[in-house]
Amino acid sequence: MNIPTLMTRLAALQGHPIPISKESAPFDGHDSEVIDADASRQIPRAKGVRLVRNVEYARRTTADGKPLPLRLDLMIPEEPGRHPLVVFVPGGGFVMAPKVGGARMRRFVAASGFVVASVEYRTVRHGATYRDALDDLADAVRYLSGRAEQYAIDPRQVGLWGESAGGYLVAMAGVTGDASRWGDEGSPIRAVVDKFGASDLFRIAEGFDAETVAKNRAPGNSLAKFAIGPTAVVLDDDPDAVHAADPARHARSDAASFLLFHGSDDRIVSPVQTSILHDALRSAGARSRRVLVRGAGHGDIAVTGGEEKYWTTEPMAGVTIDFLRAELTTPDGAT
C-alpha cells in the first residue's frame, strides 16, 4: 500500500473520512495543456543528494497544553554552491501532514539543483485552521533562510510545492503576502507548484456524483474545521469565513508564478478547482500555467482499482523542474 492510500485510510479511522466520488467530473481542458498519462516512464532513483532528517523548525503548544514540535526533512544537492529553496508541503486531507511523502520525486528535484525541504504543519487534529498552517509554513521558510549557509540555500530564491491539502496551502501562501505573517518586506515566495489542490472550498466536489457532493457539505468533514475553526460542523456554519479561505478569491497581479497540475480522473478534489484558480490568476494579471493529466487520479491514491504511478513519471518531473528553473535563479544564485 502506498503512502497516499494509507493516509486516506488513516484519516477515515480518525473520524475524518475523505469523500471519494464514484465518477469523474466532466473533462475540461480549456486554457490548459493536456498530457496523456503514461505510468511506464518512471523517474530513476536520483543520486548526489545529502539527507538531513527531523530538523525542528518550530515548537507549538496543543490545546491541552502539550508541546508540539514541528519538523522538516532536507534533501540537499551535493554539488557546491548555494541552491534555490523549494519547500514541499504534503497532503493528508487537512488531518495529517506526513513529511515522508513524495520522497522519490523530492529526491529527483533535489538532484536537479534545489534544496528541498519537506515540512510538517498543524492540522485539524491539533485544532488548527489554514491560518495556523500558513504561519507554520512561513516559520519554516524563515528558519531555513536564517540558516542559508548551513544548508547551502540561496534565500533570495524560494518556491513552494504542495500536493492535495498541501497544494491548497501553497496556493494560499502564493496569493497572500500578509505583513503580519511575512513582515514588512512581504512574502519571499516566487514560484508555486500546486498539484490538485482546492481553491474554492464550496465547489470542491463540483462535477462529482450527488452523494459525494453531499458528503463534502455534511457534518464531520475536515474542510469546515480547517477553514472556519475547531467548533465548526459544516461549511455553511460561516460562509464568509470559507470564502476568505479560498485561494481563488485572493488572486492578484503580484502573486507568485503558478504551475497547476490536476488529473482528469481525480475523484477527491474536482479538477474544476485548479481551473478556477488558473482563471482567477490570469484574470488578475498573474502568471499561471495549468497542466491537465488525462487519466490520472488524485496523486497515486489507489481508489479506482489500480496502482499506476502517474505522478512520478519523467514528463511530470520535467515540467516541474523546468518551471522551477525558469522562475528561480540558477543554482549558483546568478540572475
Integer Cα distance of 272 and 335 in angstroms: 36
Q: Which residue has the cell 472556519?
A: 228
More confident residue, 182 or 124: 124
Three cell numbers written together for 143 = 528558519
Q: Residue 329 above 80 pLDDT?
A: no
pLDDT for res 226: 98
**If one looks up domain 3-327 in CATH, what number appears?**
3.40.50.1820
Contact 90, 97 (CB under 8 A): yes
Q: What are 229-250's pLDDT values in tens digits? A: 999 999 999 999 999 999 999 9
Contact 163, 2 (CB under 8 A): no
Give me the amino acid identity at 108. Answer: F
Q: How confident is the model at residue 303 (pLDDT cuts 50, 70, 90)?
A: low
Q: Residue 14 above 70 pLDDT?
A: no
**Reduced to 3 states, what is the DSSP secondary structure of residue 321?**
helix
Q: Residue 124 above 60 pLDDT?
A: yes
pLDDT for res 178: 76
Q: What are 194-228's pLDDT values in tens digits? A: 999 999 999 999 999 999 999 999 997 899 999 99
268 φ/ψ angles, rounded to the nearest 5 degrees: -115, -50
pLDDT for res 213: 95
Q: Where are the domains of the chain?
A: 3-327
Integer Cα distance of 76 and 107 in angstroms: 9
* Crossing angle (nearest 10°) for helices 103-111 and 314-327: 50
Integer Cα distance of 292 and 261 in angstroms: 6
pLDDT for res 94: 97
The mean of the pLDDT values for the chain is 92
Q: Which residue has the cell 460542523?
A: 233
pLDDT for res 333: 46
pLDDT for res 229: 95
Q: Is the pTM of the predicted complex or chain greater than 0.85?
A: yes
Q: Residue 307 above 80 pLDDT?
A: no
Q: Which of 191, 139, 138, 204 is nearest to 165 (CA)?
A: 204
pLDDT, average across residues 102-109? 97
**Reduced to 3 states, what is the DSSP secondary structure of residue 125?**
helix
Integer Cα distance of 302 and 332 in angstroms: 40
Alpha carbons within 13 angstroms on the beta-carbon side of residue 137 total: 33
More confident residue, 134 or 28: 134
Q: How confident is the model at residue 64 (pLDDT cuts 50, 70, 90)?
A: confident
pLDDT for res 302: 55
* Crossing angle (nearest 10°) for helices 130-145 and 165-175: 70
**Reduced to 3 states, what is the DSSP secondary structure of residue 267?**
coil
pLDDT for res 184: 76
Lowest model confidence (mean pLDDT) among 34-38, 271-275, 318-322, 328-332: 328-332
Q: Which residue has the cell 491514491?
A: 301
Three cell numbers written together for 218 = 455534511
Name the DSSP class of 208: S
Integer Cα distance of 242 and 255 in angstroms: 21
Q: What are 251-268's pLDDT values in tens digits? A: 999 999 999 999 999 999
Q: What are 170-194's pLDDT values in tens digits? A: 999 999 987 678 887 789 999 999 9
